[in-house]
Chain A
Amino acid sequence: DAGVIQSPRHEVTEMGQEVTLRCKPISGHDYLFWYRQTMMRGLELLIYFNNNVPIDDSGMPEDRFSAKMPNASFSTLKIQPSEPRDSAVYFCASSSLAGVETQYFGPGTRLLVL
């Protein structure tokens, strides 16, 4: 298996622009997680899905952030409009069970908002 795939790996954009991050989970995994990592706040869970349904989005910082999972093999995290404080590394992870089985992380998307 190719593992969790994220694109793009790097994104540089200007404040106010829309940013879309993409994730393809491991085939057969029912859970998908979006995390944000910064030096100041560490690793934060933004939202997670079970069988394509959002279960908990309490970690999404503001209405500017939205996430979708239209099918079992694809998810997006969108920021509109982006702000400099959104600069971070965004990780997608998937697992077959939420808290027992191993979470497999993608390589991350490094976002810089100017």
Chain B
Amino acid sequence: AQSVTQLDSQVPVFEEAPVELRCNYSSSVSVYLFWYVQYPNQGLQLLLKYLSGSTLVKGINGFEAEFNKSQTSFHLRKPSVHISDTAEYFCAVSSGNTPLVFGKGTRLSVIA
């Protein structure tokens, strides 16, 4: 069985500061990894995904994530956040032809 742990439930950060949202996964097989973002009163939308190849994945809105197999991690980073990045961020894992398993989410609050 697969599982995802998002280590921080809330992350406050000042505008223009860098941020890292942490995600660790557990799986006995090869994995595909995803980050989704949920803005208030909206559904989730894909930020980025890792399927294979380069372990550094770039997504929308200046976000990137790095797949680290030895540490079973897929942390999300942005060098400089904006007020508009305030949202909830979900890490998810899949082994292929199975539904995504989501973490409990990290609420990012950007402070002006």
Contacts and interface: CB of A to CB of B under 8 A. Distances in A.
Nearest to B46: A102
B32 A105 contact: no
A101 B90 CA distance: 16
Interface stretch (A12-20, A71-79, A92-100): A92-100
B104 A99 contact: no
A100 B105 contact: no
Nearest to B101: A45
Given A43-B90, A43-B105, A99 B43 contact: no
B49 A99 contact: no
Interface string A5-34: 000000000000000000000000000010
Contact of B97 (A91, A98, A103, A108): A98
Contact of A91 (B44, B96, B103): B44
A42 interface: yes
A42 B104 CA distance: 5
Interface string A41-53: 0110100100000
Interface centre among A33, A43, A99 (most CB of B within 10 A): A99
A42 B102 contact: yes
Interface residues of A, number: 20
A2 to B, nearest CB: 13
A104 B46 CA distance: 8
A54 B31 CA distance: 24
A48 B94 CA distance: 14
Contacts of B46: 102-103
B45 A105 contact: yes
A59 B93 CA distance: 17
Interface in B44-74: 44-46, 49, 51
Contact of B43 (A4, A100, A102): A4
Interface of A: 4, 33, 42-43, 45, 48, 56, 91, 93, 97-100, 102-108
Q: List the 4 shortest-distance A-B pairs measured between CB atoms, nearest first.
A: A99-B94, A105-B43, A42-B104, A105-B44
